[in-house]
Amino acid sequence: GAVVSQHPSWVICKSGTSVKIECRSLDFQATTMFWYRQFPKQSLMLMATSNEGSKATYEQGVEKDKFLINHASLTLSTLTVTSAHPEDSSFYICSASITGRGYTFGSGTRLTVV
């Protein structure tokens, strides 16, 4: 149980376009989801925390207008990278929290902006 499905697993897009990444909790309801970014050989850096039905809370230095997060239901959160640039190329991972059971991570999305 407690599976988080994230897709796409990889995407290549042209500079200036937008990319949407979805994260779904398959067998539980996730009131809180976290979005992380990982650059090569670096730690997972928290970008934002999203709660169902409310605006996401962004970490310092993360542009909320560039990384749009929507958590419209208890089973779906989306991250949209708007007007992507090569420096946005990274590995993006979502995580859902389960009360009393901790955190479950998605399988990640490798974004390459060309």
Residues of the shown chain interacting with other proteins in the complex, contacts defined by CB under 8 A: 4, 6, 9-10, 31-32, 34, 36, 41-46, 49, 91, 93, 95, 97-108, 110
Residue 71, classed as helix, strand or coil, is strand
CB 83 → other proteins: shortest distance, Å?
A: 25
CB 111 within 8 A of CB 7: no
CB 16 → other proteins: shortest distance, Å?
A: 25
CB 55 → other proteins: shortest distance, Å?
A: 16
Q: Which residues contact 12 (CB under 8 A, 6 or more apart)?
A: 112, 113, 114
Instruction: Name the residue nearer to other proteins (CB basis): 62 or 82.
Output: 62
Residue 23, classed as helix, strand or coil, is strand
